[in-house]
Structure 1
């Protein structure tokens, strides 16, 4: 099976490269952002294959090893090889967990809007038993993405680091030119993850300065080379937490379809970066602003069908109630001064709409159907894009270069070429421009992914999803182990 080449966002000025993948051309995915959940324990209608004694021993060993390799368990367990049906059912469960995820449908939060498609591993296992190719079958199970493979390789490396005692906790922050034990500890710590840095020496020299900058880029921090509080905090994250972070992200890879639309927009919510793909190549990348904790941007898959030029802003009730009406009360006339008007909904209620001239959506709004009322849009507030921490929206995704994105997506729509887009925006009239060819959009949450400054790059887990997800994967794996005894 061909593994796909990973592609990063290329946003070196932001230091926040998004995890991306570049698959071969495939048919567009469905419009809906949520796939059909995989059944927890499908009823097996076909007879289970009979294993030889040698196959039973081999399969038990393969599963025990692969559970750890694929991030389903922190530690290895031993499987009994004496119960044919029990072992076969354990193999089927393992195959489903590796291919489509360990979680049950009830484990998904409402804003985890990507769930795996159902898949039956029995035909493949039966064929592997018949041809005596169990090891080859096990190797076909993981998702066909290099991004997943990168995490699996990183997981093995970080498990080795953990087995060797992890890394030292830093208590002092030396600076360039310093000498002494604090510098030696910093060098030792960085060398554990950075093979390009010699692990000995007590002087903060140019090589160590470069290593600090590489680490800062790997963690999505400003690569200034100064060991400040954020850098110290990132370096002091225990290796066990990094392992669970990779486990959580591997699980998210397993939720994706077996193939992604090659013409697509991808947003890494955790890194706040948008990348556009055409075929196997990234053709545009930009900074984004994603949802702050408490207003999380959901994970979802959908399709951008149209772009609204000069969009008014229909204010969500929650924002109007919590933010805008209190401002009007504190400063009468605030709503009128900022272009808001009160609209009768016709059922005894009202809503706020901000005119396109002052719209918080700017001049461009990219619509795609989803259950979360989120979209991509422009913004008149540009200051947030200069920050490294760009989780500041109410859940929608604000774009650094929306005009460039609109013109790129409309390249195949003859009536909406750049000149027409520019003139319509300049006229100020609200127009919905329908795209001749809808483009898939993927909102994904990657906090560990293939990096340019080391095998794995990490981001903070702003929504706290990693710890919950990794714990659920371990809990479900442990429960299944008990059930298979």
Structure 2
């Protein structure tokens, strides 16, 4: 496949240089004249940032000049466009052919102005897609509330003008994750071309000690997937047990070594499904901030995990519970900055929970949810017996509700705050049994941590000589206490069904909320296609 890319690229660049030679015969000292300016203006919407860029730089051409730098920019753009599909973007063959033809056909100063404007327009569209993502997250799913860093057309053009062709190589995320995903994309495309992972495994439970043709099919598929070495044994032996466990770990399944219904369902997913997940992951990586923070917190919702990352290395990791898979509870995706933690927190019940869950119970029984205090607008506790709750609707209910600090508090004994309009934070929970589940989507949207104390120690280690002792000294007071983080920590709530682990191992997760399916459908609708693959 790589040899095909190289051959195709050579042909395109040869055509580009031929077009460049044609333009060189047309370009002259008159490139700045009125005809050139009029042509650029004519082919650029008056109110656009591209037009503003040219007005600001006096209509000086950045593409159609005769210098080596101008030629390098043209060639670099053609090369980048011809490789757009490698990034999971739509094939740009038609655009490349059109640009080359227009360069070859340029015969006058006005023609040059038109080519200049077209090259800038194509460049800006491509730069925006590669730098910030092809899609707008908020148009796909209401849980995709991430604010994406987008450079303006003028910023892209000025950067190209300043840094030359080298700027095109800096557009894609310069992360290890992005490079690894691109490598995995090529590997999966080759695998799909070769027929994938062979025969699927019948949906029947298989475990240690079993024998028969289904065990052989299980073994063969795991061998083709690379999770175990080839073997002719018809038995579910120790080697197959470890192969199943390796597969389970790489797919976020409970690593019990039993090929049950869930494991076989993931095992039978075709390679093309994994390829789609990688396409989506590349797009998602383009949405993330370029500067994640030397120290940051990463919550991957599909992995049900929360990590602290220091200088690219995971220094702490714990299991997590995310929002339940219902419209009003799914955890959103966004980035913010953690500013403080609250030890012995009160739980201030969200208005949505008060009106949807607690008000109906109070109407039936004023003493319901007795562990929650009802307070008025001045924070004073309300006497339940003196209130007729049946007179209120969800809109007119005038009270707030609060659960005081305690071991049974819904937030547990500590919460971690990165103030945001979605009222999402990380916190402890008294419901420890949920962390033993394989799929952990149970909350109202916030992220619950299996090891909140250890998470707190790791954060406090940057500012306390003995973080554990400090934490428990505050905890033992029983009083609600805010502890500011001297070093604010970026938090990234992400949703990644395909990613590459710290040792280069490829990991896949289930599409818990169906968001990746929506993203793939949007990419397809916008022109992204799997090479030589149907469906």
Shorter-normalised TM range: 0.7 to 0.9
Q: Does 1:299 align with 2:333?
A: yes
Does the 8 Å CA contact 2:411/2:428 hold for their aligned counterparts?
yes
Instruction: Output the CA distance in 2 between the equivalents of 1:400 and 1:71.
Output: 36
Q: Does 1:350 align with 2:427?
A: no
Q: Which residue of 2 aligns with 1:33?
A: none
Return closer, same or farther for 1:416/1:110 CA change in 2, 3 Å cut-off.
farther
Structure 1 residues not aligned, in runs of 5+ = 1-40, 480-485
Instruction: Output the CA distance in 1 between the equivalents of 2:365 and 2:226.
Output: 55
State the SS of the aligned residue for 1:227. Answer: coil
Instruction: Output the CA distance in 2 between the equivalents of 1:200 and 1:330.
Output: 66
State the SS of the aligned residue for 1:282. Answer: strand
Aligned positions of 1:261-340 closer than 5 A: 261-294=293-326, 295-328=329-362, 333-336=367-370, 339-340=371-372
Does the 8 Å CA contact 1:272/1:288 hold for their aligned counterparts?
yes
Q: Which residue of 1 aligns with 2:64?
A: 50
Q: Which residue of 2 aligns with 1:148?
A: 178
Q: Which residue of 2 aligns with 1:28?
A: none
Q: Which residue of 2 aligns with 1:122?
A: 157
Q: Which residue of 2 aligns with 1:19?
A: none
Does the 8 Å CA contact 2:88/2:528 hold for their aligned counterparts?
no
State the SS of the aligned residue for 1:307. Answer: strand
Q: Does 1:104 align with 2:139?
A: no
Q: Which residue of 1 aligns with 2:127?
A: 95
Q: Does 1:411 align with 2:461?
A: yes
Higher relative contact order (CA 8 A, sep 6+): 1
Instruction: Output the CA distance in 2 between the equivalents of 1:401 and 1:175.
Output: 32
Normalised by the length of structure 2, the TM-score is 0.72
Which of residues 164, 171, 193 is equivalent to 1:163? 193
Instruction: Output the CA distance in 2 between the equivalents of 1:446 and 1:306.
Output: 27
Instruction: Output the CA distance in 2 between the equivalents of 1:451 and 1:432.
Output: 35
Q: CA deviation at 1:297?
A: 1.3
Q: Which residue of 2 aligns with 1:366?
A: 416
Instruction: Output the CA distance in 2 between the equivalents of 1:219 and 1:165.
Output: 21
Q: Does 1:83 align with 2:133?
A: no
Q: CA deviation at 1:243?
A: 1.5
Number of equivalent positions: 430
Instruction: Output the CA distance in 2 between the equivalents of 1:202 and 1:42.
Output: 67
Return closer, same or farther for 1:416/1:298 CA change in 2, 3 Å cut-off.
farther
Return closer, same or farther for 1:67/1:197 CA change in 2, 3 Å cut-off.
farther
State the SS of the aligned residue for 1:427. Answer: coil
Q: CA deviation at 1:349?
A: 0.7
Q: CA deviation at 1:140?
A: 3.0
Structure 1, 75-84 or 359-368: larger mean CA deviation? 75-84
Aligned positions of 1:13-28 closer than 5 A: none
Aligned positions of 1:184-203 closer than 5 A: 184-194=216-226, 196-198=228-230, 202-203=234-235
Does the 8 Å CA contact 1:102/1:477 hold for their aligned counterparts?
no
Does the 8 Å CA contact 1:197/1:208 hold for their aligned counterparts?
no
Q: Which residue of 1 aligns with 2:392?
A: none
Does the 8 Å CA contact 2:203/2:261 hold for their aligned counterparts?
no
Q: CA deviation at 1:332?
A: 5.8
Structure 1, 79-88 or 364-373: larger mean CA deviation? 79-88
Q: Which residue of 1 aligns with 2:81?
A: 63
Q: Which residue of 1 aligns with 2:483?
A: 433
Does the 8 Å CA contact 1:214/1:453 hold for their aligned counterparts?
no
Return closer, same or farther for 1:104/1:348 CA change in 2, 3 Å cut-off.
closer
Instruction: Output the CA distance in 2 between the equivalents of 1:61 and 1:440.
Output: 36
Could you say which structure has the higher helix fraction? 2
Instruction: Output the CA distance in 2 between the equivalents of 1:194 and 1:164.
Output: 15
CA RMSD of aligned residues (A): 3.1
Does the 8 Å CA contact 2:405/2:413 hold for their aligned counterparts?
yes
State the SS of the aligned residue for 1:198. Answer: coil
Q: CA deviation at 1:362?
A: 1.0
Does the 8 Å CA contact 2:228/2:239 hold for their aligned counterparts?
no
Q: CA deviation at 1:340?
A: 0.7
Instruction: Output the CA distance in 1 between the equivalents of 2:196 and 2:322.
Output: 33
Q: Does 1:247 align with 2:276?
A: no
Q: CA deviation at 1:280?
A: 3.7
